[in-house]
Amino acid sequence: MTERTAILSRMFLVFGLLLLIPCVLAFQLIRINYLEGDDLRNLWSQQAIDTIPIPAQRGNIYDANGTLLATNAANYLIALDPKVKDANGKSVTKDQIDELALTLAKQTNQPPSYFKKRISTAPSHSQYIVLAKNLSPIAKDAVKELGINGVIIEESFSRKYTFGSLAAHSLGFVNHNMDGKTGLEAYYDSDLKGENGVQQVRRDPRNQISAYLGAPKKLPENGHSIHTTIDSYIQAILEDELKKGVDKHLAEYGTGIIIDPKTGAIKAIANYPTFDPNYPGSDENENRRNFAISDMVEPGSTFKLVTAIAAVEQNKVDFDEVFETPESGEVEIHGLTLRDHDPLGNMTFQEVIQKSSNVATAEIAMRLKPEVFYQYARNLGFGAETNIDLSGEVAGILNKPYDWSLVSLPWMSHGYEVLATPLQVAQAYAAFANEGMLMRPYLVDKIEDQNGNIVLDNTPVEIRRVARKNTLQKILPIFESVVTDSGTGEWAQIDGLRIAGKTGTAKKVYQGRYSNKYLASFVGFFPAEDPKYVCLIMLNEPKTSGYGGYTAGPIFRETAKRIAGLDRDIQRSMSPTEDSEFITKAPSLIGIEKSVSEHILNKFDIPYSFKGKSGFVVSQNIEPGSVLEGKQEIILTLSETYLPVDSSKVKEGFAEVPELRGMSMRQAITILTKLGLKPETYRSGTIERQFPKAGEFMRLGNSVTIRGKAKSLELVAVEERD
């Protein structure tokens, strides 16, 4: 083959191949368009079609009166695509940017220059410049009215708690995905969330989504709305008074609970410090804890309800029996020392509870078999969850009798060696107020769907009977006597309103030993003749005093007084009738100055005389609260150790320290508080030492240290065990 022939052959081969390409392309066009066209078009449609969720609206939360507590708020994001062109092919102009910046400045706290800078400094290829977030519907409408091409408005929803921190620990909060994290939001999350809908859309090769005509869609099912038992008015009262009390007594935190004893419906739960569920991350984690259900504490003397019910029902105590306690106020039980807050002498059963004697209460408890005492405690709800509809509840600890030591029963009789939540204590007293029927506490009354149909209707749940009715009728006057001038709950009294309750003062364990830090509480119900409200107040580590009656009692009083003002039935029962006879009772004057005592007694036209010339009242011959017959005279004994100085000698903002030695701890605290000084207590009982000494001048608000004579009961117990 010649060279010319070889070249021609290669040329024909190349031309042949070139002619083959159009033939192949023509064949593929015919195959795609006619032979397999329908199948390929269906495949493309399947790959280009996608679905996006249509978010369901979270259900609302209402209080017992229909007031909206939690709902959803629409938020808007404003962004700008500067590359978008209008019908005339023009992009966003400088005048339009100026107008947009000015409008956004009016709706936010930013100047117009802020928004102009965000646009000018954005990358040149940017088609999505975020200008503002979380704008209101009003701001969104203002921007939309500008009619600027390229403005992007995106809608989203966030949870809105109408009254900020009101009932925060009951309501809880949600995260950024609108999932409930605590409180009712978490417990009823599946009911509140609803079910998202689905929208079919097209997705182009650039992953851009667009709707198309006739696209199928499934509408969302919005979440159910919850109607709670919370009364916003009562909740606000409790929170307000609790805050005042925590601040006044310099407590670490405080807890309050109000229950309807007949149904178990929670009217209010409050903790202070609190948090705002609209901005849950802005407060400390500790503030978000619901101490009412998640804290286990030794309840102290409020637990004496268990001892009283068990002893009376088992006929282990006679109401006329006199209990003799030592002059020192302390006894030794199996090598451990048990003592009262003050030497209390001889007492009837009523006075044992009224004056809160640990020694006599232990004596009564030791007449019971351990398993019997344990069963009464279990019946009243201790050692088990209340099953309230809130997440995070703990069961407390109530050991079974085979785990007890020889001193467990006497110590448990006044609230030690047992751990309970504040809600468990409130539930037990609610059973007392409800004639012995223990009710399950609950927060949700009913749940409705988006059409108003009721999907859940909560009814009160009876758990068990804790004691016979006649047993509770017998002890009711005893617990009423606690809230009198003669009882430890004297600071919880309200004129005209019958209240039954009990104080609690418990030392706290710190690093394995009982410390001089206290948990102070008061729990009671009113009106005692037909209870409508059970209220518990608990303060953790109050600095002014550890006594529950002195610190928690006044918070209860002010709370109950304001609630009574909202309740017409209670107001009518408190109003004296025209035929009612005026009865004069002996006031409590111990710890009060002579001049103030004279004013009080003269006001009520009560005859009196003094033993001593000056100082404070240290004793009175007629028991406080006793009915005065005719013109019966009250004889008051004065300290004669504290002589008020000439006011000209006391600088403004100062007070003179009185002589406190020989007084009871409670009397000394009362005197110092009235002078504007801060008592700092060590141990309890009769005051043995004080600093500074009497007669010195101190700036108001400064501390006066007072030390009791007897050693603390729990410290002795720990030292013996060590």
Which two structure tokens, joined as six digits, stand for 136? 């209101």
Q: Which residue has the higher pLDDT, 337 or 670?
A: 337
How far is residue 667's CA from residue 550's CA, in Å, rounded to a whole number? 11
Report the pLDDT value the prediction gives residue 649, as an integer from 0 to 100: 52
Number of H helices, E strands in the chain: 22, 30
How far is residue 677's CA from residue 669's CA, in Å, rounded to a whole number? 9
Q: What values do phi and psi take at 495, rounded to 5?
A: -60, 130
Report the pLDDT value the prediction gives residue 435, as an integer from 0 to 100: 95
Is the per-residue pLDDT at 576 higher than 70?
no
Report the pLDDT value the prediction gives residue 40, as an integer from 0 to 100: 57
The three-state secondary structure class of 659 is: coil
Report the pLDDT value the prediction gives residue 225, as an integer from 0 to 100: 96
Instruction: Pick the range with the lowest mean pLDDT from 73-77, 179-183, 299-303, 561-565.
Output: 73-77
| DSSP secondary structure letter of residue 291 | H
Q: What percent of the chain has pLDDT over 70?
A: 87
579 confidence band (pLDDT: 50, 70, 90):
very low
Q: Which residue has the higher pLDDT, 102 or 30?
A: 102
Report the pLDDT value the prediction gives residue 55, as an integer from 0 to 100: 80
366 confidence band (pLDDT: 50, 70, 90):
very high
Q: What percent of the chain has pLDDT over 90?
A: 48
19 Cβ neighbours under 8 A, 6+ residues apart: none
Is the per-residue pLDDT at 610 higher than 90?
no
Question: What's the topology of domain 594-721?
Answer: Trypsin Inhibitor V; Chain A (3.30.10)
> What value does the mean pLDDT take over residues 313-318?
95
Contact 104, 115 (CB under 8 A): yes
Report the pLDDT value the prediction gives residue 138, as an integer from 0 to 100: 87
Is the per-residue pLDDT at 359 higher than 80?
yes
Is the per-residue pLDDT at 360 higher than 90?
yes
Q: Measuring CA to CA, which residue among 222, 185, 254 is closest to residue 443?
A: 185
b/e per residue, 698-717, with b = 16+ CB within 10 A? beeeeebebbbbbebbbbbb
* Candidate ranges 255-269, 571-585, 674-688; pick with highest mean pLDDT: 255-269
Digit-coded pLDDT (tens) for 8-22: 777 777 777 777 777
Digit-coded pLDDT (tens) for 59-105: 999 999 999 999 998 888 888 888 777 667 677 888 888 888 898 88
Helices (H), 567-710: 568-574, 594-603, 665-675
Report the pLDDT value the prediction gives residue 646, as an integer from 0 to 100: 43
Which two structure tokens, joined as six digits, stand for 503? 């104080």
Contact 554, 491 (CB under 8 A): yes
Is the per-residue pLDDT at 143 higher than 70?
yes
Which two structure tokens, joined as six digits, stand for 111? 């100047």
Report the pLDDT value the prediction gives residue 426, as an integer from 0 to 100: 98
Q: Measuring CA to CA, which residue among 314, 88, 53 is closest to residue 194?
A: 53
How far is residue 298's CA from residue 536's CA, in Å, rounded to a whole number? 15
Is the per-residue pLDDT at 712 higher than 60?
no
120 confidence band (pLDDT: 50, 70, 90):
confident
Q: What value does the CA radius of gyration of the chain take, rounded to a whole number of Å?
A: 38
CATH code: domain 233-276+290-574 is 3.40.710.10
644 confidence band (pLDDT: 50, 70, 90):
very low
Q: What residue ranges do the domains of the chain occupy? A: 68-161, 233-276+290-574, 594-721
DSSP string computed for 514-571: EEEEEEEEEEEEESTTS--EEEEEEEES-SS---HHHHHHHHHHHHHHHHHHH-HHHH
* Candidate ranges 77-81, 446-450, 651-655; pick with highest mean pLDDT: 446-450
Q: Which residue has the higher pLDDT, 19 or 142?
A: 142
> What value does the mean pLDDT take over residues 418-430?
97
Digit-coded pLDDT (tens) for 480-500: 999 998 899 999 999 999 999
How far is residue 267's CA from residue 442's CA, in Å, rounded to a whole number? 9
The three-state secondary structure class of 636 is: strand
How far is residue 297's CA from residue 385's CA, in Å, rounded to a whole number? 14
Is the per-residue pLDDT at 186 higher than 90?
yes
Is the per-residue pLDDT at 578 higher than 60?
no
CATH code: domain 68-161 is 3.90.1310.10
Report the pLDDT value the prediction gives residue 720, as an integer from 0 to 100: 34
Q: Which helix (H) or strand (E) holds 244?
A: helix 232-249
Instruction: Pick the range with the lowest mean pLDDT from 151-165, 416-430, 488-502.
Output: 151-165
How high is the mean pLDDT of the chain?
85
212 confidence band (pLDDT: 50, 70, 90):
low
Report the pLDDT value the prediction gives residue 422, as an integer from 0 to 100: 97
> What value does the mean pLDDT take over residues 432-449?
96
The residue assigned the tokens 């700036």 is: 699
The identity of residue 233, as a single letter, is Y
| DSSP secondary structure letter of residue 35 | I
The identity of residue 708, as a single letter, is G
